[in-house]
Amino acid sequence: MKIAILNGSPKGDQSVTMQYILYVKKKIPEHEYNILNVAQQIKRLEKNDAAFQEILDAIRDSDAVIWGFPLYVMVIASQFKRFIELIFEKKATSYFNDKYTMLLLTSIHFFDHTAENYMHGICDDLGMKFVDFYSADSWDLLYPKRRAMWLKIAENFFEAVEKKIPTTRQFPPIHLREFEYNPEKFKNGEKKVDPEDKKILIITDSIDDNKNLGKMIKKFQSCFSKNIEIINIHDVDILGGCIGCGKCGYNHECSYTGKDGYQEFWEESVMKADVLIFAGTIKDRFLSSRWKMVYDRAFYNTHTPTLIGKQLGYIVSGPFSQIPNLKEMMQAHVEIQMSNLVGFVTDEYGDSAEIDALLYDLARRLIKFAQMNLIKPQTFLGVGGFKIFRDDVYGRNRFVFLADHKWYEEHGVYDSFPQNDQRAIEMNKKLIPLIQIDKIRNKMDFRIEFLKPFKKVITDPNK
């Protein structure tokens, strides 16, 4: 069989993910494996139609396709995202239609499920026959049992292709709403939101002021009594996507530093704002690849949050509620950054007047919450996600991410980890011997015990 592998790593042949393919090639040599470094070559593929056609021809000539890619900020790298956009823009979906496919992803398992969801949805949109996914920890290949498991999954995939097993769509097609948003102008005397001393910044990739997103941004700006800064990420001098060189791990310095304007944009504009509004139009099942590039390039701060305490709102044009995976990623990003998610406004539902009202209310709440320093508790997304970072930075990847390690030490990330949570130590010292006594344990009502400390807070007038 001929297997085409679409390599989503910007590192090309130096990709860890591709080592998993090379291993399969070594162990199951009877198939032909054609690795296509599409993410690494994205600039060429964008400009050169013949080069893009070569990729399509390789897909056409293959019996099956493996999308092999690293996780980049909860989903795929911007370069790979751009490749997917090109397939749709160049109307080349028929090359993928009915091809058997699987996903091979490598990561530290931080939001690998959202990447799987995204790519699975894309495979469904391309009309592919989706067999399976394999989400490996980057280091799995180094462990005999784990690499044996990967081989089994690969064999199973090849067998599925040979036997032409039945497959089905999992993600429903997305329906776009035909709707033109026409905002009302502010009438004389209508109250606007006073930002007071808060610095507000809208970041967008809007390319047309007359499209819904452009008009929503204008309307949102007009809700304030002062001029609100807006930065279009197409105007930021960004030389390219993150190349995964890993140089930033040591001191949070990007290999692009001094070569383009990204770091200045992030540090002088984004990090200095109190209130941020991310505004974009949905492209396939995410925002644009330009937006993805902005997220990826912020990874020069690796696993250290840089937007702590900020209020964040999203203005989105497109079928947002049909893609819960996207909402999850956006919410998780805000939580991991330790900022506060104020809300989303989209053009999906309601008429123009309703959207006007939602935009106004978003403006009002952003300022109110900023004045109150309001930060809601993280959900599982932030709490669980950060624990993955903490374990990785403390442990096996400390030598790579020394800058994170230093920040985590200085900011108490390790305070109750691994076993130096003094409150827990004292409690366990007292309670474990008691719990082990049958008579005491059987008499104990945990519902009452758990409530005891709360009772103090509820009844104490000074608390």
Contact residues toward ligand FMN (CB under 6 A) are 9, 11, 15-17, 70-74, 106-112, 138, 242, 244, 296, 299
214 vs 244, which CB is nearer to ligand FMN? 244
Question: According to DSSP H, which parts of 254-288 are helical?
Answer: 262-264
Torsions phi, psi for 378 (to 5 deg): -70, 150
Give CA–CA dist 166/56, Å, rounded.
Answer: 24
CB of 422 to ligand FMN, least distance (A): 31
- Give min distance, CB of 378 to ligand FMN, in A: 16
Shortest approach of ligand FMN to residue 17 CB, angstroms?
Answer: 3
Query: 292 or 310, CB closer to ligand FMN?
Result: 292
Residue 68 or 195 having the CB closest to ligand FMN: 68
The terminus-to-terminus CA distance of the chain in angstroms comes to 70
3-class DSSP state for residue 31?
A: coil
Cβ proximity to ligand FMN: between 65 and 366 the closer is 65
Write down the least CB distance from residue 401 to ligand FMN, Å: 11
Residue 342 structure tokens = 């104020």
SS3 of 346, please?
strand
Q: Report the alpha-carbon distance of residue 175 to residue 173 in Å, rounded.
A: 6
Residue with tokens 């495979």: 123
User: How many residues does the structure list for the chain?
Assistant: 463
As measured in angstroms, the least distance from the Cβ of 301 to ligand FMN is 10
Joined tokens for residue 400: 């790579």
Smaller CB separation from ligand FMN, 73 or 230: 73
Q: 108 vs 444, which CB is nearer to ligand FMN? A: 108
Using the minimum distance from each CB to ligand FMN, give the nearer residue, 125 or 296: 296
For the record, the structure tokens of 373 come out as 């320093």
CB of 242 to ligand FMN, least distance (A): 4
Q: In sequence order, what are the residues at sequence separation of 6 or more whose Cβ sits closer than 8 angstroms to the Cβ of residue 73? A: 292, 295, 296, 298, 299, 333
Structure tokens at 345: 């406004």
SS3 assignment for 27-90: HCCCCEEEEECCCCCHHHHHHCHHHHHHHHHHHHCCCEEEEEEECECCECCHHHHHHHHHHHHC
Least gap, CB of 329 to ligand FMN (angstroms): 9
